[in-house]
Structure 1
Amino acid sequence: MNEEQPIIKIVIADDHEVFRDGLKLMLSKEKAFSIVAEAENGLELIRLSDETEPDIILTDIKMPKMDGIEATRRIHDQNPSIGVIALSMFNEESLVVDMLEAGALGYLLKSSDKAEIIDAVNTVYHHHPYYCKSTSARLAITITESRFNPYNSGVHSSLFSSKEIEVIRLICEEYSTKEIGDKIFQSMRTVEGYRAKILDKMNARNTAGIVIYAIKHGIYEVKK
């Protein structure tokens, strides 16, 4: 680890001690992370966030005394620089949107692997949104229709070449890399190159990030 790299302070909130312990053990192995507090409900999360001033909060949505949505709303109102990542179950899509609208900047399924959790923490730490790589097409559309919009205003289509725009739209239509290559008469390697450039320009991490960004900025319009 670069000695100049700051330590990312993390608070974990979940009412299940076994889950908290597992997540803490996993993240504690990363030298760039420091778990500064654990909370078992929303009220405790607010108090501990105020006391420890973390960079990142990983929080369950459903908790006793106060849920993650209200806790996130209050924390975000008080200190919007704290990056909140929601931890959800596979069937909580509407609650994920509520979390994002409350001030969370990312979300993960509780079943996410270590690499994705680390990626999410680092992404949100740098103030970019993170969408779980398992995001369904339905949830992506719902997010674009919500009040959640972490992007800067302006004409973003000018950031991309005409070929990149074409690739973005095909990605949004759920074409595979091979299918996109066939449509634009390019190799799969070339398509992957376009995809990498698109991800970089959007500060996105995966397909869900591309789709949500593209729809939010009018690059792609959902057919209804």
Structure 2
Amino acid sequence: MIRVLVVDDQDLVRAGIVASVDAQADLEVVGEAATGAESVHATARLSPDVVLMDIRMPQLDGVDATREILEHHADTRVLVLTTFDADEYVFGALRAGASGFLLKDASVEELAAAIRAVHRGDAVLAPSTTSRFVELMLPGMPDPGRRAAAEASLTERELEIVRLVTQGLGNAEIARTVHLAEATVKTHIGRVLTKLSLRDRVQIVIWAYRNGIAPV
């Protein structure tokens, strides 16, 4: 059972999200919060697996709340819920360590799939927004020396998989592309995370662009 904390300052919106999540057999809402500050306290008290985080809230916005939660609860995943696709607040939350974002008008099935994805360590980051994300986060291009050092830190297969991760592909899609078993792809990604001391796939994307590994 995946334990979920729902954070939103609008009561009706929060109630709808809670109902949608609780309707799934493998998901359980263990708590609610109406402000960023409440979300921090609730996470400490309830230890949810996934926090569904609104961005614009009183007392403490979703960006700062995400940062504070992940500083103290490294195993918790944060999935941002937003109204606008390329909102700079969303990118701020991703910089703070969120595992991805989803629009609030997403279907119940999309929401449930996104929760499961971030819980297993995947990123929920639409390829259409990746370039904007990188533009905001990483001005300028890395120097060739930095790229060479980065490439030397991984095997050719790992580099190939990292480049596919930056394109927004999930494990199953990567497996089909490189003709490997999905479990093998998952193992490779786990090794990349360990070698580079990264938290999740969003951080792989950041690392790849920062070091000139991602295809341009």
TM-score relative to the length of structure 2 = 0.68
Counterpart-to-counterpart distance in 2, 1:11 and 1:42:
12
* Contact 2:86/2:132 (8 A) holds in 1: no
Corresponding residue of 2:82: 88
Instruction: Determine whether 1:139 maps to 2:132.
Output: yes
Q: How does 1:90-169 map to 2 (within 5 A)?
A: 90=84, 92-131=86-125, 133=126, 135-136=128-129, 138-142=131-135, 145=138, 154-155=153-154, 157-159=156-158
Q: How far apart are 1:221 and its partner, in Å?
A: 3.9
- Runs (5+) with no aligned partner, structure 1: 1-6, 147-152, 173-191
Alignment deviations for residues 4-31 of structure 1 (CA, whole Å, 9 cap, x no partner) = xxx1110000011111111111111111
Counterpart-to-counterpart distance in 1, 2:213 and 2:180:
16
Instruction: Determine whether 1:8 maps to 2:7.
Output: no
Rg larger in structure: 1
Does the C-alpha gap of structure 1 residues 143 and 193 become closer, same or farther in structure 2, counting only changes over 3 Å? Answer: farther
Q: Alignment identity in percent?
A: 24
Counterpart-to-counterpart distance in 2, 1:57 and 1:31:
18
* Contact 1:140/1:212 (8 A) holds in 2: no
Which stretches of structure 1, 4 residues or longer, exceed 6 Å deviation after superposition? none
- Runs (5+) with no aligned partner, structure 2: 140-149, 168-174, 190-200
* Contact 1:144/1:215 (8 A) holds in 2: no
Counterpart-to-counterpart distance in 2, 1:54 and 1:216:
31
Counterpart-to-counterpart distance in 1, 2:95 and 2:38:
21
Alignment deviations for residues 95-147 of structure 1 (CA, whole Å, 9 cap, x no partner) = 1121012121121111222222222211211223221x47435434337728x
Q: How far apart are 1:158 and its partner, in Å?
A: 2.5
Equivalent pairs counted in the alignment come to: 181
Q: CA RMSD in A?
A: 3.5
Q: Could you say what secondary structure the match of 2:121 adopts?
A: coil
Counterpart-to-counterpart distance in 2, 1:116 and 1:196:
27
Q: Could you say what secondary structure the match of 1:136 adopts?
A: helix
Alignment deviations for residues 148-199 of structure 1 (CA, whole Å, 9 cap, x no partner) = xxxxx832543477xx99x95xx96xxxxxxxxxxxxxxxxxxx94278699
* Contact 1:27/1:33 (8 A) holds in 2: yes
Counterpart-to-counterpart distance in 2, 1:59 and 1:82:
12
Q: How does 1:1-224 map to 2 (within 5 A)?
A: 7-90=1-84, 92-131=86-125, 133=126, 135-136=128-129, 138-142=131-135, 145=138, 154-155=153-154, 157-159=156-158, 193-194=176-177, 200=185, 212=205, 215=209, 218-222=212-216
Q: Could you say what secondary structure the match of 1:108 adopts?
A: strand
Corresponding residue of 1:186: none
